[in-house]
Amino acid sequence: MARELRLEQAYTKIKEKFEDRVKLYDEEYEIPLIIKKEQGRRAVLVRGKRSSPLIVSNLFETRQKMLEVFGLSRMEELYDLVTRSTTEESRAFIYEKFEDYYERAQLGFDSLGALKYYEKDGGYYYTSSIVVIETEKSHNASIHRIKVIDSKRAVARIVPRHLYRVYEDRVKKGENTPITILIGTHPIVELTASISPPFNEFEFTLIPNFTGEKVKMVKSPLHGNPVPLGTSYVVEAEITAELIEEGPFVDIMGTYDRVRKQPLILIKGIWALIDGEKMSHAILPGGGEHQLLMGISREAQIWKSVSSAVPKVHKVRLTPASGGWLHAVISIEKNHEEDGKNAILAAFGAHPSLKHVVVVDSDVDPDDPLQVEWAIATRFQADEDLIIVKKARGSTLDPSANDGTTSKMGLDATKPISAPAIFERAKIPGE
């Protein structure tokens, strides 16, 4: 058996919806404002004034909705799927003929659902766009924000990871880098593209871990890159050596990322899915979908690492106020007095971007910041329970860091194993 993945399938699973297929909404601020107002409440589906596809958002900006979309009941199930190994492409994919499902679209790259989100944004952006490239031995898929220049040109923020490595090799050879840009993919496809397995391990081979069966694929018409069947738009392009300005744009912390020189992208052709509803997924920068898409795989790594250091992990939460990236709260069971400190060190090792870690007992809910603060107030002493790491690798997303170099802090806010009654949280029977 093999499965086709469409963005529409994920949208239909969401119970509460803000949907208007008749009125045309403005891509500049109006649609982003609707998305932001409906965060944590309803999925959004609207038509843009200048866009060909329907624009969908808020599919998984809360953990509960993310579990619904993925057909899971507990976050631990998702952590397990995220940390599983990739598999061989031959055992993960079944290929169909591209021309049976896609046709050449007479559309410009500026008409596929790009939005201008915030007042100081440098332009209209795609925020869930996936770039697929061929590597030395396999392929690579990664999510990049892409700024529209016009119908045939764009620029993407490319951080020094796998795509950048391939691009740099091509530049040294005096060649452009062939890429395939995917617009309008299922959240399973987006999540796998946000995971970072080793170079030459293809992210899309993780998809069968989530579906339980092989995934139907097609090969892109010009470059032959693997594309999950059901993707709304397949865009063939090339990254050039020419550098142009990209930004400003809002990052995961809700602050403006600086303007950089990034490589120009030339659009070679656009193909659209023949049958079914075509959708473009707009992820609000700094919003819940952005945070969970980036952070869930890191939470999973923290869960796995801390679980090997302490008897039991109850919850791991990268906190919303830290962009779902810089701060973690972890609830554990202890067998030894220093298990809390071991949990802190294991968390820092699993997610190098972490700046602060708070470890609490199982009777404290990491999802409730008031309970976490209570644990710090009643179970933490700075001279005994504080770990400080100076000048370590952190995150460039932290405006206070020095080019990613930061100081880190871990707080062991767990009670003593043989704790007297003064450490117990009072409860009313039945609560």
List the catalytic residues.
251
17's tokens: 């919806």
Cis-peptide, bond into residue 208, ω within 30° of zero: no
E strands, 26-156, in order:
43-48, 54-57, 93-95, 102-104, 125-126, 130-134, 139-143, 146-148, 153-156
Tell the residue number behind the tokens 């992990």, with chain if given.
313
Which residues have CB under 8 Å from 171's CB, separation 6+?
177, 241
Asked if 215 and 244 touch (Cβ cutoff 8 Å), the reply is: no
What 8-state DSSP symbol labels residue 258?
P
What 8-state DSSP symbol labels residue 362?
T
Asked if 343 and 310 touch (Cβ cutoff 8 Å), the reply is: yes
Asked if 335 and 312 touch (Cβ cutoff 8 Å), the reply is: no
What 8-state DSSP symbol labels residue 418?
T
Widest CA span in the chain: 73
Alpha carbon distance 6, 4 (integer Å): 7
Give the orientation angle of helix 339-350 with respect to helix 288-307, to 10 degrees: 130
Which residues have CB under 8 Å from 119's CB, separation 6+?
29
Tell the residue number behind the tokens 């919806």, with chain if given.
17
Q: Is the dihedral of CA 241, 244, 250, 255 positive or negative?
A: positive
* The length of the chain, given as a count of residues: 431
C-alpha distances out from residue 426 to 363, 377, 414, Å: 11, 15, 16
Alpha carbon distance 226, 133 (integer Å): 9
- Torsion angles phi and psi, residue 326, rounded to 5: -95, -30
| Residue 271, helix vs strand vs coil | strand
Opening angle at CA 189, ends 183 and 193, nearest 5: 90
**Which amino acid does the sequence have at 168?**
E
